[in-house]
Structure 1
Amino acid sequence: MLSVQVFLSDLQHKKQLDVAWREWIGEDSATWPQRAVVGAQLDGGLLVEMVALAFR
């Protein structure tokens, strides 16, 4: 995975996102993809939306 854009409905949830991120991606930040986290108004009651760019 090269990069992930994360859209949160409430930036107060970023700490919870960081916990889930480490469980998903791993603890070693040297292996993480680039990440951007921004606040956004999401439709349908969504709390988070992600756009991932990967290359194989």
Structure 2
Amino acid sequence: MSQPPQTRPFAHVDAPNNQLYQRVMRVSAFAKRRFIVHLRPEDIAEALRQDGGSRSEASRS
């Protein structure tokens, strides 16, 4: 039998685009604290543009 794939709970730490992933998660966590349960892609893109991060990362979202 084949082995089941190993889970990597912290795979995002060294994944490609990990900084962008962390920024998106920060936007999501902030929205959750404000009881906003639905985020549209446009909302996330706007928040990424406003957070002072790299323009190239924000333009990819």
Considering the TM-score relative to the shorter chain, is it more than 0.5?
A: no
> Which protein, 1 or 2, shows the higher relative CO under an 8 Å CA cutoff with sep ≥ 6?
1
State the TM-score, normalizing by the size of structure 1.
0.29
**CA radius of gyration, larger in:** 2
Flag the structure with higher strand content.
1
Flag the structure with higher helix content.
2
